[in-house]
């Protein structure tokens, strides 16, 4: 297919951002505006309540030295991080994370294994937004996360 034909086909699907007299939602249609929170519970992938967690953690990829990442959020099921590397899905990594405890000045350092669920380049975060799922979480890890979630 010629380059122009591909471009025309792509642009035919685009909706202009501004048009007078018609709300954007009406122009996009119901299917285009579906978000994760609007999905039925059977399709929602997140199973746990998340809480923002902005701190530094260390991640160790197989055969690599540990490197520092920024965390974005945590739940009883996993951790959101931002890194300069783009790990493949299902990769197992080791993480060391300091977790502050709710209502206390105490911080608990936890180490755990996690599996990469997704990795998406994020301009907003300035790196790859990576979702990690805990693999066989220890009772100590779950207690520390619960202590942070409050």
* The pLDDT of residue 48: 80
Please state, in angstroms and rounded to a whole number, the distance separating the CA atoms of residues 109 and 47: 24
Range picked from 6-10, 60-64, 122-126, 129-133 for highest mean pLDDT = 129-133
State the pLDDT confidence band at 150, using cuts at 50, 70 and 90.
confident
pLDDT digits (tens, 9 = 90+) for 74-93: 999 999 999 999 999 999 99
* The pLDDT of residue 52: 95
Please state, in angstroms and rounded to a whole number, the distance separating the CA atoms of residues 140 and 111: 10
Enumerate the domain spans of the chain: 3-38, 51-149
pTM of model > 0.75: no
Average pLDDT over residues 130-137: 98
Please state, in angstroms and rounded to a whole number, the distance separating the CA atoms of residues 6 and 9: 5
Please state, in angstroms and rounded to a whole number, the distance separating the CA atoms of residues 50 and 32: 25
* The pLDDT of residue 126: 93
**DSSP string covering 92-140, please?**
EEEEEEEEE-TTSS-EEEEEEEEEEEEEEEETTTTEEEEEEEESS--HH
Q: Give me the CATH code for the 51-149 domain, please.
A: 2.40.10.220
pLDDT digits (tens, 9 = 90+) for 83-123: 999 999 999 999 999 999 888 889 999 999 999 999 999 99
139: pLDDT strictly greater than 90: yes
pLDDT digits (tens, 9 = 90+) for 10-69: 433 333 333 344 443 343 333 322 233 334 444 446 578 899 999 999 999 989 999 999
């Amino acid at each position: 297919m010629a380059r122009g034909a591909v471009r025309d086909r792509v642009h035919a699907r685009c909706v202009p951002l501004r048009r007078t007299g018609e709300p954007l939602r009406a122009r996009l249609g119901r299917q285009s505006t579906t978000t994760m929170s609007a999905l039925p519970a059977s399709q929602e992938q997140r199973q746990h309540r998340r809480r923002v967690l902005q701190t530094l953690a260390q991640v160790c990829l197989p055969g690599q030295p540990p490197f520092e990442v920024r965390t974005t959020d945590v739940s009883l099921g996993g951790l959101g991080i931002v890194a300069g590397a783009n790990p493949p899905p299902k990769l197992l990594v080791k993480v060391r994370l300091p977790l502050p405890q709710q209502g206390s000045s105490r911080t608990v350092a936890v180490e755990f294994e996690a599996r990469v669920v997704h990795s998406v380049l994020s301009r907003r975060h300035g790196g790859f937004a990576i979702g990690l799922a805990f693999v066989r979480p220890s009772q100590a890890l779950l207690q520390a996360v619960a202590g942070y979630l409050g």
